[in-house]
Chain A
Amino acid sequence: MSVSRASKSRRGSTPSWQPLFQKRWHRWLDRRLPAAQSVTLDHRKLFVIPSLAGSAFLLVIVLLWLLGTNYENNLVFALAFLLLGLFIILPVHTFANLSGLRLQLREVPAAFAGDYGQAKIALERSGKRSHERLHLSWPPEEGIVADVTDSEPKEVSIALPLVQRGRVQAPRIRIESRFPLGLFKCWSWVDLDVEFLVYPQPKTAGPLPFGASVGEGEQLKSFSASGDDFAGLKNYQPGDSLRHVAWKQYAGGRDLYRKEYASGSDARLWLDWDLLAGRDVETRLSNLCAWVLEAERAQIAYGLRLPGKEIAPAMGPAHKQRLLSALALFPVQGVSQ
């Protein structure tokens, strides 16, 4: 990571109380566990302490020792010492359950603000030891629990609620295990350098603005959304809508074809920033986002006009993503409304 951490927006950032401690802690963590897409857990990265259950267990041991002492009963002593022995060896087992685990970031699909972002992570063992009851989460989120028992990497996805659009740097992932008895917890804060591309939250702004284009001095041009004029057949490409497949021809024994409909050169849908004048930036972006989704669903060629950016009308998932990315990465500042 060449970019300094501080410059990135982080969720769950420093609470106002004890900021100094938090800052130091994070700085220490950053030094000790630098961000990387692939991390193998080892003794430098893991922490072990007794859990609440462990403290209760210790209390039981103390009470047993008192019972043994007062009744001068060696068998009670033996039991207390056996449990103490258990308590002494358990952290090693709990540690061993996490040590050697390799986490690798596989994929971070883009998501909409207000929704959960899912990071796909591969868990793999580096030795022969299996890893059980691994709990991965972005606290305070629920997270998931997984076992890695065979040599095949196991793919899991953990969810992070996303609020703001843009590039969101996910906080450190907490990986924790209390295996085998739950009396100790072993954990690490892993930074897999997860970065979500967050699209604006879609907020509907009425029907698609067919024919409504506010150009500089341009007149409004009428536009027929249906594009009735059949223009011909084109080879079907994966990703094309099934609604436009020429089923008749396909049934007749020919290849898959896509019906092309002609639309007038100006009869294209422009999703224009200026159409939404009067609203604040985020709402505008949200509305544009909703339109993009709607237009894609309706299989209408659509383009996007943003201040300083114009993307020509087209269709298809790649185009949709391009537009949504543009919306997501639209700068917050520097736009006069």
Chain B
Amino acid sequence: MSAAPSQLQSLLPRESLLWIFAAQCAVLLPHMMHLPLWLVAAWCVAVYWRLEVYRGRREIPGKLVKLLAVSLAVAGLALTYRRWFALEPMVALLAVSFTLKNIELVSRRDALLSLMLAYFLAATLFVFEQTIPYALYGILCVLVITAALAAQQGRGSARPKRALGLSAKLLAQATPIMLLLFVVIPRLGPLWAVPQNAQSASTGISDSMSPGDFSELSKSDKPALRIAFDGPVPPPEQRYWRGLVYTHFDGRRWSEPGDATLSWGRGRSQAHQPPEEGERPLPAVGPRYRYQVIQEASHNPWLFALARPHSETPGVRETGDDTLAYKMPVASRLAYQVRSWPRDSVAQDTVLAADERLRHLQLPVTGNPRAREWARQRVRQGLGAEEISAALLQHYHQSFSYTLRPPPLGQNTVDEFLFSTQQGFCEHFASSYVFTMRAAGVPARVVAGYQGGEWVEQREYLLVRQYDAHAWAEIWLPERGWVRVDPTAAVAPERIRDGLQSAAADEFMQDALLPLHRIAFVTKLRLQWDMINYRWYQTVVSFDRERQQGILQRLLGEVSPLRMALFLGVPAVAALMILLLWLKFASRGPRLPPAGRLYLRFCRRMARAGLARNPGETPGDYARRVERELPKLGPMVGKITTAYEKAAYGDSAEAEKQLRRLVRTFWPIRLVR
């Protein structure tokens, strides 16, 4: 009895230690991809140390060691990240804090802190990825952490089956509340600007194009865009998803506007101030496409849409090049609504500003003499822009072949491609075409994006993958404005119509470890999986204020404070009522047999008459006492008691009936007075 007070309450049960480590491990596992390796190692060391303490081989480290560990960790973080206000350092900081906590994990309070950090770290997982597997893994994490929390309650609760079972039960019960809150709780929108994860490598189409870039992309079957149409759908040969316009050529590399030292955003906003709202009115007529694009995280700001796009999704702006851009790099899946007017259907600006014209005629001073000569010849022949274009396309059509494995090119890439190798991929065609057209004095530019797509599930949406990446050209015709020309189509029209797989059947995805795309069943399964992902994204990940309003409107008819209060209040009140009823019945104890209940009624009446039965007093004793103290009641009480004893212990139905009759007519309070 001399144990120090409060130890029983505060000291960590031994079994629960392993649970805490299990929870931390579960949470850390997916984070390992972006956490520095030393941190993971530090966690392992801390856990090892604590387990040694548990086994009694070591002591909890002293102040000096702790101080050393903290300074090492801080130094490590500072060296690894060099800045604090970003997502990764924040996650790392959380991981460091519970790693350090591990070596002094002694009291319940320490355990609690550790587990609360684990919950938070599990949530940050979703900031990086919002896919179904991650969501499922997140549920697993919460299950384990909650089980670890339950395990803090003691030996019995720490048994794996018990802890997990308890945790699963509680979480299952919490789920309906979660669903309700998910739909009902208003989304406020960001309260302050938050740091995005910056260190992720960008994927997909980059801000420049040099030979080989696109054939690299063609090896990836990762989804890039998912597009769902509302209304008419453009025919396959019109599905050009514009993303970037390259105007600057340095002899090998095509890149975004001019000066390579300018960053993408600045270059664009300086060169082409996007027209103010209202300056370029939306065409009122003509066929237009309405669609929603869900873009995978690319870590680049450019978006993809058909020509002449307009979007009203917040954060999306139009550029002067008929493309869309996002206010920041797309760090996670992004959905945006677009309306597009095909260029043929609307009147275009028919004047190209002088500086624009100059920009679109830019060529390196030297290099590729044969291509320049070829162009000059055509100009000398007096051909117009369209005729030169046609001649060039004819040249491609005659002797070029489309391949994913083009021979390497040397210094003069355009010359070599046009006049010697003549085998290439879309980027070679687009690059050489624009070069030659510019050499002929026709303003031209390379457009990069995706072309085509694959329908999923009864044409619900178009799945565009990385291997659909494509580069094509646009030339300026005085009477028509910018006109799309796809030199690849001159060589491999099936690429435009049916996609890469049919255009390069043998070479397609040759490097893939398993040629899964050749098995129809697997392809179907993968499309199914993609559809599940799409639905997941549609219903859960992109659930926003608008959708919330929509759902509430459908549920309530109209979103007013009164109706909201009713919607929330009615289930709450109902739940409360159920709870109260349950309390009433649960605290009543086991239900008595009929005879017992009748006898209790008799006892209550006796109590009102002023002679209550004592706790623990047998009916017989009670009856004798009543007879002694209130002789007037004696005979009746004796009868009732006998009947009760017979009914309760003799199991006699006759006696029970008699007891019922007797109790019904027994009113001691009247008899006593």
- Would you give the shortest CB distance from A180 to chain B, in whole angstroms? 5
- Contact check: which of A66, A73, A141, A145 meets B191 at CB < 8 Å? A66
Q: Does B152 lie within 8 Å of A182, measured CB to CB?
A: yes
B142 contacts which chain A residues (CB < 8 A)? 79, 82-83
Q: Does B194 lie within 8 Å of A77, measured CB to CB?
A: no
A88 contacts which chain B residues (CB < 8 A)? 174, 177
Report if A72-B187 is in contact (Cβ < 8 Å); known contacts: A60-B120, A133-B157: yes
Report if A38-B615 is in contact (Cβ < 8 Å); known contacts: A132-B157, A180-B157: yes
Chain A contacts with B in 287-319, Cβ cutoff 8 A? none
Q: Does B587 lie within 8 Å of A42, measured CB to CB?
A: yes
Q: Does A79 lie within 8 Å of B123, measured CB to CB?
A: yes
In this complex, the member of A38, A73, A92, A143 whose beta carbon has the largest number of chain B beta carbons within 10 angstroms is A73
- Would you give the shortest CB distance from B635 to chain A, in whole angstroms? 32
Q: How does the 8 Å CB contact mask read for B522-557 relative to A, with 1 for contact and 0 for none?
A: 000000000000000000111110000000000000
Q: Which residue of A lies closest to B127 (CB)?
A: A71
Q: Does B586 lie within 8 Å of A79, measured CB to CB?
A: no
Chain A contacts with B in 22-51, Cβ cutoff 8 A? 38, 40, 42-43
Q: How does the 8 Å CB contact mask read for A82-96 relative to B, with 1 for contact and 0 for none?
A: 111110111011001
CA of A69 to CA of B186 in the docked complex: distance in angstroms?
Answer: 10
Q: Does B540 lie within 8 Å of A64, measured CB to CB?
A: no
Interface size counted on chain B using CB atoms at 8 A: 63
A67 contacts which chain B residues (CB < 8 A)? 120, 123-124, 127
Q: Which residue of A lies closest to B583 (CB)?
A: A43
Q: Which residue of A lies closest to B112 (CB)?
A: A53
Q: Does B189 lie within 8 Å of A143, measured CB to CB?
A: no
Q: Is B642 an interface residue (CB 8 A)?
A: no
B157 contacts which chain A residues (CB < 8 A)? 132-133, 179-180
CA of A34 to CA of B615 in the docked complex: distance in angstroms?
Answer: 15
CA of A79 to CA of B130 in the docked complex: distance in angstroms?
Answer: 12
- Contact check: which of B150, B332, B542, B589 meets A40 at CB < 8 Å? B589
CA of A89 to CA of B134 in the docked complex: distance in angstroms?
Answer: 26
Q: Does A60 lie within 8 Å of B116, measured CB to CB?
A: yes
B177 contacts which chain A residues (CB < 8 A)? 81, 84-85, 88-89
Q: Does B170 lie within 8 Å of A100, measured CB to CB?
A: no
- Would you give the shortest CB distance from A99 to chain B, in whole angstroms? 6
Q: Is A76 an interface residue (CB 8 A)?
A: yes
Interface size counted on chain A using CB atoms at 8 A: 61
B589 contacts which chain A residues (CB < 8 A)? 40, 100, 126-127
Q: Is B521 an interface residue (CB 8 A)?
A: no
Chain B contacts with A in 168-183, Cβ cutoff 8 A? 170-171, 173-178, 181-182
CA of A68 to CA of B8 in the docked complex: distance in angstroms?
Answer: 38
Q: Is A2 an interface residue (CB 8 A)?
A: no
CA of A290 to CA of B175 in the docked complex: distance in angstroms?
Answer: 66
Q: Does A82 lie within 8 Å of B174, measured CB to CB?
A: yes
Q: How does the 8 Å CB contact mask read for B595-619 relative to A, with 1 for contact and 0 for none?
A: 0000000000000000000010000
Q: Does B174 lie within 8 Å of A86, measured CB to CB?
A: yes
Report if A69-B188 is in contact (Cβ < 8 Å); known contacts: A53-B112, A181-B170: yes
CA of A68 to CA of B123 in the docked complex: distance in angstroms?
Answer: 9
B150 contacts which chain A residues (CB < 8 A)? 180-181
Q: Is A63 an interface residue (CB 8 A)?
A: yes
Q: Which residue of A lies closest to B145 (CB)?
A: A83
Q: Which residue of B lies closest to A53 (CB)?
A: B112
CA of A27 to CA of B146 in the docked complex: distance in angstroms?
Answer: 40
B235 contacts which chain A residues (CB < 8 A)? none
Q: Is B70 an interface residue (CB 8 A)?
A: no
- Would you give the shortest CB distance from B630 to chain A, in whole angstroms? 21
Q: Does B194 lie within 8 Å of A142, measured CB to CB?
A: no
Q: Does B153 lie within 8 Å of A69, measured CB to CB?
A: no
Q: Does A56 lie within 8 Å of B8, measured CB to CB?
A: no
A267 contacts which chain B residues (CB < 8 A)? none
Q: Does B116 lie within 8 Å of A57, measured CB to CB?
A: yes
- Would you give the shortest CB distance from A285 to chain B, in whole angstroms? 24
B587 contacts which chain A residues (CB < 8 A)? 40, 42-43, 99-100
A180 contacts which chain B residues (CB < 8 A)? 150, 153, 157, 166, 170
Q: Is A147 an interface residue (CB 8 A)?
A: yes
CA of A100 to CA of B588 in the docked complex: distance in angstroms?
Answer: 8
Q: Is A78 an interface residue (CB 8 A)?
A: yes
In this complex, the member of B123, B188, B192 whose beta carbon has the largest number of chain A beta carbons within 10 angstroms is B123
Q: Does B127 lie within 8 Å of A76, measured CB to CB?
A: yes
Q: Is A172 an interface residue (CB 8 A)?
A: no
Q: Which residue of A lies closest to B540 (CB)?
A: A74
B542 contacts which chain A residues (CB < 8 A)? 74
Q: Does A99 lie within 8 Å of B583, measured CB to CB?
A: yes
- Contact check: which of B8, B178, B181 meets A145 at CB < 8 Å? B8
Q: Does B153 lie within 8 Å of A182, measured CB to CB?
A: yes
Q: Which residue of B lies closest to A177 (CB)?
A: B153
Q: Is B382 an interface residue (CB 8 A)?
A: no
Q: Does B181 lie within 8 Å of A76, measured CB to CB?
A: no
Q: Is A140 an interface residue (CB 8 A)?
A: yes
Q: How does the 8 Å CB contact mask read for A163-181 relative to B, with 1 for contact and 0 for none?
A: 0000000000000001111
- Would you give the shortest CB distance from B659 to chain A, in whole angstroms? 25
Q: Does B182 lie within 8 Å of A141, measured CB to CB?
A: no
CA of A40 to CA of B586 in the docked complex: distance in angstroms?
Answer: 12
- Would you give the shortest CB distance from A146 to chain B, in whole angstroms? 11
CA of A149 to CA of B177 in the docked complex: distance in angstroms?
Answer: 30
- Would you give the shortest CB distance from A35 to chain B, in whole angstroms? 13
Q: Does A159 lie within 8 Å of B1, measured CB to CB?
A: yes
Q: Is B144 an interface residue (CB 8 A)?
A: no
CA of A76 to CA of B122 in the docked complex: distance in angstroms?
Answer: 9
CA of A83 to CA of B5 in the docked complex: distance in angstroms?
Answer: 33
Q: Does A127 lie within 8 Å of B153, measured CB to CB?
A: no
- Contact check: which of A64, A85, A127 meets B176 at CB < 8 Å? A85
Chain A contacts with B in 105-145, Cβ cutoff 8 A? 116, 126-127, 129, 132-133, 135, 140-143, 145
Report if A76-B123 is in contact (Cβ < 8 Å); known contacts: A70-B190, A71-B194, A127-B589: yes
- Contact check: which of A75, A85, A90, A141 meets B541 at CB < 8 Å? A75
A78 contacts which chain B residues (CB < 8 A)? 178, 182, 540
CA of A74 to CA of B536 in the docked complex: distance in angstroms?
Answer: 11
Q: Which residue of B lies closest to A126 (CB)?
A: B589
Q: Is A190 an interface residue (CB 8 A)?
A: no
B146 contacts which chain A residues (CB < 8 A)? 86, 181
Report if A141-B135 is in contact (Cβ < 8 Å); known contacts: A60-B120, A74-B543, A75-B130: no
B134 contacts which chain A residues (CB < 8 A)? 75
Q: How does the 8 Å CB contact mask read for B578-597 relative to A, with 1 for contact and 0 for none?
A: 01000100110110000000
CA of A159 to CA of B177 in the docked complex: distance in angstroms?
Answer: 43
Q: Does B178 lie within 8 Å of A82, measured CB to CB?
A: yes
Q: Is B491 an interface residue (CB 8 A)?
A: no
Q: Is A192 an interface residue (CB 8 A)?
A: no
- Would you give the shortest CB distance from B657 to chain A, in whole angstroms? 30
B493 contacts which chain A residues (CB < 8 A)? none
B414 contacts which chain A residues (CB < 8 A)? none
A70 contacts which chain B residues (CB < 8 A)? 190-192, 194
Q: Is A103 an interface residue (CB 8 A)?
A: no
- Would you give the shortest CB distance from B439 to chain A, in whole angstroms? 48
Q: Does A84 lie within 8 Å of B170, measured CB to CB?
A: no
Q: Is A80 an interface residue (CB 8 A)?
A: yes
A64 contacts which chain B residues (CB < 8 A)? 119-120, 123
- Contact check: which of B138, B173, B174 meets A75 at CB < 8 Å? B138
CA of A241 to CA of B116 in the docked complex: distance in angstroms?
Answer: 62
Chain B contacts with A in 202-239, Cβ cutoff 8 A? none
* Chain B contacts to A: CB under 8 angstroms: 1, 3, 5-9, 108, 112-113, 116, 119-120, 122-124, 126-127, 130, 134-135, 138, 142, 146, 149-150, 152-154, 156-157, 166, 170-171, 173-178, 181-182, 185, 187-192, 194, 332, 540-544, 579, 583, 586-587, 589-590, 615
List 5 A–B pairs whose Cβ atoms lie within 8 Å, in order of A's numbering. A76-B123, A84-B178, A85-B181, A99-B586, A126-B590
- A78-B540, A99-B587, A116-B1 known; 11 other A-B pairs, CB under 8 Å? A56-B116, A74-B542, A76-B127, A77-B187, A81-B181, A85-B174, A89-B177, A126-B589, A179-B153, A180-B170, A182-B149
